Amino acid sequence: MPELPEVEVSRMGVSKHLTGKSISNITVRTPKLRWDIPTDQLKTLIGHHVVAVSRRAKYLIIETDVGHIIIHLGMSGSLRVIDIDTPLKKHDHVDIAVGAKVLRLNDPRRFGAVLFSNIDGQHRVFDKLGPEPLTDAFNALHLMHKCAKRKAAIKLVIMDNPVVVGVGNIYANEALFLTGIHPLTPANQLTESQILQLVNTVKDVLAAAIKQGGTTLKDFSQTDGKPGYFAQSLFVYGRDGEACMRCKSELQTIKIGQRASVYCPKCQPTLI
C-alpha cells in the first residue's frame, strides 16, 4: 500500500517524464474510483504543458498553467510511465498521454482518486490537512499541543491527518516501536521527551523509506515493478508472533481503530 514514501518516490519518478511536456490526451476508462472522475474538466488540460509534479500529503499534483490533476493512490494504486501502445491490464483506469509516452494509473481496489483543481490549487481534499511530516512545521511543540487535549491512543493521533499527514499504519507501528511507546498510550500521557523522540523518529523512518524506495522504484518505464521495498527493514509491521529484533520477545497484535497494531510488549511497555 502506498504510504507517503512511495508517493514521494512516485512523484520523483513521474516528474522527470512529465515536466515540460505537453499533455496530448487524457483517457478515463472508469467513471468513478473513490469519487467520480471529472473527465470533462481534466480534458481541458489537453494541449497544455506540465509545469511541475508536486505532492501534498499522499496526493500527487500534476500542475499545468491552466489547472491541476490531483491523484491519490489509495490502498492499491500504482503509476507507470510506459509506451502509449502498451496493452491495457486489468484495473488500468486512467491514461495521461504525453507524446509517445503515457502515465497510466492502475488501482485494483479503487480506493484511489483522480480529481481536478483550478490553478489556485485549492481543493476540498486539502482543507483539513495538517503539516507535512518532513518539514519544520511538524515539530515537538506542534505535536505536544495536539496531544495535550486528547486521550485517544497515540497511534490514532499520529495517523490523524489534521495532526500530521502521511503517517499510515506501517510507519505508525514502526515509529512507536523505535521510540519504545506502547501504541495504546493515551496521547496526553506522553512526556515531552517522548513526543520529541516520536517526532524525530517519524521523520527518520519516512526519510529512510524514501531513500530506499528511490533505489527500487526509480525506473517508471518498467511494467509493474512490484515494490515491496519497505518490507526488508520493518521491525514490527507484518511480523505478528515473530521474535522482536531487539529483545526476542514475541511480537503481539492488537486492533486500534480497526487497524492491526503490532508491538513488542517488552520494548513498548504499557504506561503505569
Q: Which residues are catalytic?
A: 2-3, 58, 259
Nearest 5°: CA angle at 240, between 200 and 228? 65
Is residue 91 near DNA by the rule CB under 7 A?
yes
Is residue 226 near DNA by the rule CB under 7 A?
no
Is residue 29 near DNA by the rule CB under 7 A?
no
Could you tell me the three cell numbers for 134? 518532513
Which of 232, 196, 193 has the alpha carbon at shortest distance from 215?
A: 232
Q: Nearest 5°: phi and psi at 145?
A: -60, -45
* Site size toward DNA, by CB under 7 A: 34
- Distance in Å, CB of 17 to DNA, minimum: 23
Is residue 150 near DNA by the rule CB under 7 A?
yes
Q: How far is residue 168 CA from its own chain's centroid?
A: 7
32 to 61, contacts with DNA by CB under 7 A? 32, 34, 57-58
CB 256 within 8 A of CB 153: yes
Is residue 90 near DNA by the rule CB under 7 A?
yes
Is residue 258 near DNA by the rule CB under 7 A?
yes
Q: DSSP string of 69-99? A: EEEE-TTT-EEEEEETTPPP-TTEEEEEEET
Q: What is the contact surface with DNA in residues (CB under 7 A)?
A: 1, 3, 32, 34, 57-58, 72, 74-76, 90-91, 108-111, 125, 128, 149-152, 156, 159, 161, 165, 168-170, 238, 257-260
